[in-house]
């Protein structure tokens, strides 16, 4: 049995019983739309959960099963979570940060952190007796939905746009998903809404509007990011936590994880949460003092997984409650950081994934992060999701004749790399 007791609106506090909840709070509508969060029997969790228990548990998100919604017999897992928290000394030195860590989410089963959401959502799809799972996605969310659907023996249907990279769709199709292109992004949730209604599909997103967020049970999976970081830092929270934010499911989830461990007395502080964005809808909302998020202008971007012109109340709430802020980075800054991280730390991340680090670099220059602070960058996905974009920023590979003079010339011309004269 899980300790889940119900759902509660993040904005107005209205409580709902445990049920499928694909449309957010019924009372908060239009621009005030809001997701709901899960509530638990914390008195009971306090009674049974001890951090000492973790030593015996598997290195997956399910080591924190007391804090996750499904009953144990419904859990669908591919071994997601407990990804390494890598201390980045070389990159840290360049950015003049003594305690820079990268939480490397490319080490998940489908090479992105969406597996945490998919594992929790898919478990609830099984618990509610659904037969089809669905998501709308630029790539990672769809791949994770497809993989967990496959593991659970459920069919999956993924909605996406033709413009997004083929590699991502190959991944989805390989896991057996029925992948469908639709004309515009808004068509995704029109169709998802209809299929929830007509066929009882379980969507890993909300189906009401882009202002709600994700399946609230899936968002719970992201709490484990906060839990793991506390555990991996030796039962302390970082000073700053920087996350690439789109819909903000992971931003809210990881914050909720830090908050729960704080409330249980397992750590004694909470991080300031910083949202990395491409177009800056959250930055705009904060600057204007709004309590909802407005749409901002967009364009095409290398960071298509977070290229959102709108975000959600759940993301804004994290910024307001943690005293955090949002900052943007350009395509150039992102791609420069992608190669810098790979070449200094051996971590090749997706462009969207390294947005957190591109933003940290800017914030260091602006003096908004201090040298001694413990800073964690969430690096959300692996670079092989979209190698074509990286390729545009790399030299052509020289063909060299098999003699040292030709090699010297080839290396110098392509890479500016000079062999010693003999």
Ligand X SMILES: *Cc1c(COP(=O)(O)O)cnc(C)c1O
Q: State which residue, 111 or 201, has the beta carbon closest to ligand X.
A: 111
Q: State which residue, 15 or 413, has the beta carbon closest to Zn ion.
A: 15
Q: Does residue 246 contact residue 112 with C-beta atoms inside 8 Å?
A: no
Of the candidate residues 83, 140, 145, 328, the single one contacting ligand X (CB under 6 A): 140
Q: Is 257 in the site for ligand X (CB under 6 A)?
A: no
Q: Is 352 in the site for ligand X (CB under 6 A)?
A: yes
Of the candidate residues 282, 296, 306, 357, the single one contacting ligand X (CB under 6 A): 306
Cα–Cα distance between 106 and 116 in angstroms, integer? 12
Residue 21 Cβ vs Zn ion, minimum distance, rounded to whole Å: 12
Residue 75 Cβ vs ligand X, minimum distance, rounded to whole Å: 21
User: Binds 114, which of Zn ion, ligand X, none (CB < 5 to 8 A, cut-off by type)?
Assistant: ligand X
Of the candidate residues 7, 9, 75, 377, the single one contacting Zn ion (CB under 5 A): 9
Residue 253 Cβ vs ligand X, minimum distance, rounded to whole Å: 8
Q: Is 11 in the site for Zn ion (CB under 5 A)?
A: yes
Q: Is 210 in the site for Zn ion (CB under 5 A)?
A: no
User: Binds 27, which of ligand X, Zn ion, none (CB < 5 to 8 A, cut-off by type)?
Assistant: Zn ion
Q: State which residue, 145 or 250, has the beta carbon closest to ligand X.
A: 250
Q: Is 116 in the site for ligand X (CB under 6 A)?
A: no
Q: Is 328 in the site for ligand X (CB under 6 A)?
A: no
Cα–Cα distance between 308 and 122 in angstroms, integer? 25
User: Binds 152, which of Zn ion, ligand X, none (CB < 5 to 8 A, cut-off by type)?
Assistant: none
Q: Does residue 360 contact residue 368 with C-beta atoms inside 8 Å?
A: no
Residue 348 Cβ vs ligand X, minimum distance, rounded to whole Å: 13
Q: State which residue, 82 or 210, has the beta carbon closest to ligand X.
A: 210
Residue 251 Cβ vs ligand X, minimum distance, rounded to whole Å: 5
Between 221 and 250, how does the x/- string for binding to ligand X read (CB under 6 A)? -----------------------xxxxxxx
User: Binds 53, which of Zn ion, ligand X, none (CB < 5 to 8 A, cut-off by type)?
Assistant: none
Strand partners, 276: 244, 327
Q: Is 160 in the site for ligand X (CB under 6 A)?
A: no
Cα–Cα distance between 163 and 124 in angstroms, integer? 31
Q: Is 25 in the site for Zn ion (CB under 5 A)?
A: yes
Q: Which of 379, 333, 382, 378 is nearest to 358 (CA)?
A: 333
User: Binds 364, which of Zn ion, ligand X, none (CB < 5 to 8 A, cut-off by type)?
Assistant: none
Q: Which of 249, 248, 211, 207 is nearest to 22 (CA)?
A: 207
Q: State which residue, 49 or 146, has the beta carbon closest to ligand X.
A: 146
Q: Is 251 in the site for ligand X (CB under 6 A)?
A: yes
Q: Is 383 in the site for ligand X (CB under 6 A)?
A: no
Interaction site with ligand X (CB under 6 A)? 112, 114, 140-141, 244-251, 305-306, 350, 352-353, 380-381
Residues forming contacts to Zn ion in the complex (CB under 5 A) are 9, 11-12, 14, 25, 27-28
């Amino acid at each position: 049995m899980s300790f889940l007791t119900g759902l509660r609106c993040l904005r107005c506090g209205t409580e709902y019983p445990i049920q499928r909840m694909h449309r957010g709070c019924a009372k908060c509508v239009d621009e005030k739309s809001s997701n709901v969060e899960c509530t638990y029997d914390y008195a009971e969790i306090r009674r049974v959960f001890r951090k000492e228990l973790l030593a015996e548990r598997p290195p997956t998100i399910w080591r924190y099963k007391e804090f996750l919604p499904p009953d144990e017999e419904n859990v669908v897992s591919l071994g997601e979570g407990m990804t390494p928290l890598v201390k980045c000394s070389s990159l840290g030195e360049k950015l003049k940060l003594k305690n820079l860590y990268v939480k490397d989410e490319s080490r998940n089963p489908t090479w992105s952190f969406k597996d945490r959401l998919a594992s929790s959502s898919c478990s609830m799809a099984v618990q509610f007796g659904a037969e089809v799972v669905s998501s709308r996605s630029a790539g990672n969310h769809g791949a994770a939905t497809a993989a967990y659907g496959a593991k659970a023996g459920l069919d999956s249907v993924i909605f996406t746009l033709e413009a997004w990279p083929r590699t991502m769709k190959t991944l989805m199709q390989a896991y057996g998903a029925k992948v469908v292109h639709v004309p515009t992004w808004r068509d995704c949730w029109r169709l998802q809404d209809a299929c929830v209604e007509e066929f009882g599909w379980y969507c890993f997103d909300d189906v009401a509007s882009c202002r709600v967020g994700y399946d609230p049970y899936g968002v719970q999976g992201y709490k484990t990011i906060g839990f793991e970081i506390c555990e991996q830092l030796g039962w302390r929270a970082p000073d700053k936590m920087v996350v690439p934010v789109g819909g903000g499911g992971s931003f809210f989830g990881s914050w909720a994880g830090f908050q729960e461990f704080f409330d249980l007395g397992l750590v004694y502080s909470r991080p300031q949460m910083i949202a990395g964005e491409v177009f800056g809808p959250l930055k705009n909302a904060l600057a204007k003092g709004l309590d909802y998020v407005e749409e901002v202008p967009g364009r095409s971007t290398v960071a298509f997984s977070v290229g959102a012109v709108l975000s959600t109340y759940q993301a804004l709430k994290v910024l307001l409650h943690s005293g955090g802020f949002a900052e943007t980075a350009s395509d150039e800054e992102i791609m420069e950081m992608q190669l810098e991280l790979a070449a200094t730390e051996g971590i090749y991340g997706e462009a969207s994934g390294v947005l957190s680090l591109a933003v940290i670099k800017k914030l260091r220059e602006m003096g908004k992060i201090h040298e001694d602070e413990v800073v964690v960058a969430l690096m959300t996905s692996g670079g092989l999701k979209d190698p074509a974009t990286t390729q545009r920023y790399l030299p052509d590979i020289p063909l060299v004749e098999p003699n040292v003079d030709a090699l010297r010339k080839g290396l110098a011309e392509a890479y500016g790399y000079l062999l010693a004269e003999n």
